[in-house]
Amino acid sequence: MSKKTLFKGSGVAIITPFKDGKIDYDAFGKIIDFQIAGGTDAVIVCGTTGECSTLTDTEHRECIEFTVDRVAKRIPVIAGTGSNDTAYAIELSKHAVSAGVDGLLLVTPYYNKATPKGLIKHFNLIADEANAPCILYNVPSRTGCNIQLSVYKELAKNPNIVAAKEASGNISQVAKLIAECGDSLDIYSGNDDEIVPMLSLGAKGVISVLANPMPRVAHDICRLWFEGKVEESAKLQLKYLSLCNALFSEVNPIPVKTAMAAMGFCTEEMRLPLCEMEDENKEKLLSVMKEFKLI
């Protein structure tokens, strides 16, 4: 079953800037414009990197609406609307669709988790009710829940489930997934240090944290690959590996928000339980950023 590809290349898992306890929409607008000017191929708003867990329901909805308006159809907007409460995920997804998003990012249920049967029911119901293109988000390190191949194969039958963001870090699992579901499910890398390996297996791109400070680099790693310049793409991936590692030296999005603040885009403000970086890790991050002339 061939489905429409939401985007090809680098989609930024965009941060949500805060100031004095509120979303800083001035900063947010500038970050969105910086992304588009830098060649980012899609904006993924209110995901893990956007600190969705600590947004109020009103903030979550407003954040999605603001992004759709600011992007103004220049590139696709995909909203994180997943939840461990199926009914709430449906409600939020419907709102995002009415706001004009191009697609939805649905994380696996966390904490309460689910059986394979429960996952199938959960995702199918959201996709059917929202009636919009959905990307499944598999990140077992955060959720304690892995999408098994048999579950992917069943969900790939749903015409509204068009892709998966694979952040399991298990390349073997991804290879099997693409071998079995490649015609009916687009795959995106969920890890910046695995863009090229995933592209080599047939992935359509990446949903990237690296793209926040370096949109052009994340875009070009994908662009070069798609142009057949495999060696150049791999060289670029490896060149920025130290930055990718520094951006994950603490729990995401702590380092990337620190990086964006150092570049003058926003404050370092995060919402508890996330907090400022340890001095030693921050020093290393800023040192790597200086190497790449980001600051």
Query: Could you list the pLDDT tens digit for every one of the 295 residues in the chain?
Result: 568 899 999 999 999 999 999 999 999 999 999 999 999 999 999 999 999 999 999 999 999 999 999 999 999 999 999 999 999 999 999 999 999 999 999 999 999 999 999 999 999 999 999 999 999 999 988 888 889 999 999 999 999 999 999 998 889 999 999 999 988 999 999 999 999 999 999 999 999 999 999 999 999 999 999 999 999 999 999 999 999 999 999 999 999 999 999 999 999 999 999 999 999 999 999 999 999 999 9
Among the listed residues 25, 152, 153, 165, the single catalytic one is 165
C-alpha dihedral (61, 155, 167, 11), degrees to nearest 10? -50
- 294 domain residue, yes or no: no
Structure tokens at 117: 């049967």
User: 249 CB contacts (<8 Å, ≥6 apart)?
Assistant: 255, 277, 281, 284, 285
- 252 domain residue, yes or no: no
Q: Which range marks the domain in which residue 57 is found?
A: 9-227
- 241 domain residue, yes or no: no
- 283 domain residue, yes or no: no
| Residue pair 6/42 in contact by the 8 Å Cβ criterion | yes
- 15 domain residue, yes or no: yes
- 77 domain residue, yes or no: yes
**What's the CATH number where 14 sits?**
3.20.20.70
Q: Is 165 a catalytic residue?
A: yes
Q: How many domains does the chain have?
A: 1
- 131 domain residue, yes or no: yes
Query: Of the candidates 173, 170, 166, 255, which has an alpha carbon nearest to the alpha carbon of residue 209?
Result: 255
Among the listed residues 19, 73, 137, 235, the single catalytic one is 137
Q: What is the pTM of this model?
A: 0.96
- 265 domain residue, yes or no: no
User: 273 CB contacts (<8 Å, ≥6 apart)?
Assistant: none
| Residue pair 149/177 in contact by the 8 Å Cβ criterion | yes
Q: What angle do CA 186, 187, 192 make, to 5 degrees?
A: 145
